[in-house]
Amino acid sequence: MAAKDVKDKAPSGCGPAHVAIIMDGNGRWATNRGWPRLVGHRKGAERVKEIVRACPDLGIDWLTVYAFSTENWKRSTEEVLGLMGIFARYIEREADAMSAEGVRLRFIGARERLDPKLQKLMAGIEARTAGNSRVNFTVAINYGGRDELLRAARRMCEDVASGVLAPEAADEAALTARLDTAGFPDPDLVVRTSGETRTSNFLPWQAAYAEYEFTPVLWPDFTPDVLGEIVGRFGTRERRFGGVLTG
């Protein structure tokens, strides 16, 4: 889809600045075609590139995608290893393009369980793109919302115990500052592909007041055109954040 066509679908001044996506359906997309599941994951990685590049024309400054959850380790060893290889190749192949296109790439999740070589690649591209700001692209890998909240709560408890944080200052802001997403804006819109209607432990704290859209489109078929239509619908929603609109 041409950049102009995508831009035409974006509402002026009322679109989501931060979109978070639960990328679901890669395996089913491949299975439906009689192919191995990893073929779907490779196709899904290609789709990520297109969506990242479409963000500026849609007015999206922040994009966060759910790539691998803390529960995904339950999948077959072959699929897990294949996914980790796809992540590594994506970082290696896209590093130059991201730097040139002003994309800042960051990762959230408990990366200690990941292969040290992958961790090194992740840290390297984070450092390389740290000065970019055209698109803030975040990948959640070995991420789980409950795990993130638990880790943040532990850090807050440790800081109280050590005297770094006063007990009365252990509030919402203090916890937020200890999340993986510290310094990030909360998502305005969360999208889940493939027809499932679960949030799957994705950004439960951050997305408390986000708008949600569940689409039947499988992730490998999720084009910038589809995202543009969803962004357009977002512009028609009334966001009250617990209050009442006046006027």
Q: Known catalytic residues?
A: 24, 72
Q: Which residues contact 189 (CB under 8 A, 6 or more apart)?
A: 16, 18, 19, 20, 210, 211, 212, 213, 230, 231, 234
Is 192 annotated in a binding site? The answer is yes
Report the alpha-carbon distance of residue 190 to residue 16 in Å, rounded. 10
CB 209 within 8 A of CB 187: no
| C-alpha distance from residue 75 to each of 83, 152, 156, 195 (Å) | 11, 27, 33, 20
Is 75 annotated in a binding site? The answer is yes
Is 37 annotated in a binding site? The answer is yes
Is 142 annotated in a binding site? The answer is no
Among 211, 221, 223, 214, CA closest to 19: 211
Is 35 annotated in a binding site? The answer is no
Is 151 annotated in a binding site? The answer is no
Report the alpha-carbon distance of residue 167 to residue 56 in Å, rounded. 42
Is 42 annotated in a binding site? The answer is no
CB atoms within 10 A of CB 163: 7
Is 205 annotated in a binding site? The answer is no
Per DSSP (E only), the strands in the chain are 18-22, 62-69, 103-108, 135-143, 189-192, 211-214
Is 69 annotated in a binding site? The answer is yes
Is 215 annotated in a binding site? The answer is no
Report the alpha-carbon distance of residue 145 to residue 180 in Å, rounded. 10
Q: Token pair 């699929």 is at which residue?
A: 79
Is 28 annotated in a binding site? The answer is yes
Is 47 annotated in a binding site? The answer is no
Is 198 annotated in a binding site? The answer is yes
Strand partners, 192: 22, 214
Is 25 annotated in a binding site? The answer is yes
Annotated binding site: 24-29, 37, 41, 69-71, 73, 75, 192, 198-200, 211
Annotated binding site for substrate: 25-29, 37, 41, 69-71, 73, 75, 192, 198-200
